[in-house]
């Protein structure tokens, strides 16, 4: 069976550094940090008091009051990003066979805020009044509901489901969308992810694991992947959406083509529930699997958007994996972690970083890893690898690879290339 070619025809984003794709991309290239003191709740008693929140987002600008009762914040972000991407791709135009358009959309956690609110309300009133749960509690909370709402809003009748694999979730969603289209099961898929966990349970839970940076005196410089002084990740929120489409279908309707998706890899660390493998064994395997799927050699990759969360152990394992897979070529390609600016969007992070790879391929520019200071040195990080520190770099980017690794040892990787007819 001959596999179909798959291209990207639409993009959408609601992120800590911009509420659309153009603003998000510009700020990523300019090295703007999205970190700031938390506003969603009073974090004054928490070890970490800052995050990368979405800013200037007013849900009432997008949804009426009745609809807002049904949408957790994570879903709101996902729906707005999807609306942007669908409009960008003109996927709602007349003539589209909507039975051949699907939605595969991810969340690592889902409606955490809704769960927290409802559980809190019951704790306060349940004993006296009995359970008074909101009838929208379950459908607001579940991690697949953003996919469901997107499908309902646009009458897309193709494959429709959510994907949950912790921080690898939205990369897994993109891989599923890619495979569904190239096997001929759909003409187009709305894919990506959304997350909104900057609430007491999210921040407190990650604090209890000692996973978050506690650089409260200097939030914008807290996320510093691959630097010796890194002390944990910065939690972020938001959504990114990509429209994946079968090439001939896109060409027939005159769609703009941003890039081509050419491969996806998956693997497991099979090591620990939260820690990545210290030698990067799962990371090596997932990149090799993606290259094999794309029928590409390591030397053909120009840019790696690293998982690079700014954790002491995780960054080391990824560097070791890149060295192993790419060898001498690791000194020639560019590596950066955009989490230094956006923070870690958990289940949405893979989609956002895939979007950055698409934009890097489109514009021949690599976004930087910010907050790297001269003199920082870590014997476990090999600085002979060509990291793009502090300033974006203009260079030909014909192919880009994006890594995402999740709690549970889930690893996912995709490769995008310049579209050549």
Q: Known catalytic residues? A: 167, 307, 344
Locate 388 and state its tokens.
């793009």
- Can you read off the two tokens belonging to residue 305? 């958007």
Contact 169, 347 (CB under 8 A): yes
Single out the residue of 309, 298, 249 nearest to residue 276, CA to CA.
309
Burial class of 104 by CB neighbour count within 10 A (0 to 12, 13 to 18, 19+): buried
Tokens 């969360």, residue located: 309
**Strand, helix or coil at 9?**
strand
Question: Looking up tokens 């707005």, which residue turns up?
Answer: 80
**φ/ψ (deg, to 5) at 152:** -65, -45
Q: Please say whether the beta carbons of 305 and 401 come within 8 A.
A: yes
Other CB atoms within 10 A of residue 329 CB? 16
Q: Which of 227, 405, 386 is nearest to 301 (CA)?
A: 386
């Amino acid at each position: 069976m001959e596999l179909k070619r798959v291209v990207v025809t639409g993009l959408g984003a609601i992120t800590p550094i911009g509420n659309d794709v153009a603003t998000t991309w510009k700020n990523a290239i300019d090295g703007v940090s999205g970190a700031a003191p938390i506003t969603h709740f009073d974090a004054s008693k928490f070890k970490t008091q800052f995050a990368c929140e979405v800013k200037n987002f007013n849900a009432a600008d997008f949804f009426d009051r009745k609809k807002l009762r049904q949408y957790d914040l994570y879903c709101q972000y996902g729906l707005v990003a999807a609306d942007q991407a669908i409009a960008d791709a003109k996927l709602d135009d007349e003539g589209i066979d909507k039975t051949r358009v699907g939605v595969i959309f991810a969340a690592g956690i889902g409606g955490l805020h809704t769960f927290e609110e409802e559980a809190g309300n019951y704790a306060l009133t349940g004993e006296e009044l009995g359970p008074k749960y909101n009838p929208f509690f379950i459908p607001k909370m579940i991690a697949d509901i953003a996919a469901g709402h997107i499908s309902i809003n646009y009458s897309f009748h193709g494959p429709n489901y959510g994907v949950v694999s912790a921080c690898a979730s939205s990369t897994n969603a993109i891989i599923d969308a890619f495979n569904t289209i190239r096997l001929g099961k759909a003409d187009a898929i709305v894919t990506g992810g959304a997350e909104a966990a900057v609430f007491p349970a999210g921040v407190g839970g990650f604090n209890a694991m000692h996973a978050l940076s506690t650089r409260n005196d200097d939030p914008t410089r807290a996320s510093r992947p691959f630097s010796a002084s890194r002390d944990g990740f910065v939690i972020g929120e938001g959504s990114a959406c990509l429209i994946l489409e079968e090439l001939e279908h896109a060409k027939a309707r005159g769609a703009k083509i941003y890039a081509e998706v050419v491969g996806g890899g998956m693997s497991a660390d099979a090591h620990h529930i939260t820690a990545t493998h210290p030698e990067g064994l799962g990371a090596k395997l997932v990149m090799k699997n993606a290259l094999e799927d794309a029928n590409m050699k390591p030397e053909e990759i120009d840019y790696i958007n690293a998982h690079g969360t700014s954790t002491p152990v995780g960054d080391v394992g990824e560097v070791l994996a890149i060295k192993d897979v790419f060898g001498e070529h690791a000194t020639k390609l560019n590596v950066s972690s955009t989490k230094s600016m956006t923070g870690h969007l958990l289940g949405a992070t893979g989609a956002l970083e895939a979007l950055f790879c698409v934009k890097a391929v489109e514009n021949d520019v690599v976004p930087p890893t910010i907050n790297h200071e001269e003199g920082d040195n870590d014997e476990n990080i090999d600085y002979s690898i060509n990291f793009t520190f502090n300033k974006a770099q203009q260079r030909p980017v014909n192919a880009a690879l994006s890594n995402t690794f999740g709690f549970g040892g889930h690893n996912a990787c995709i490769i995008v290339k310049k579209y050549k007819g």
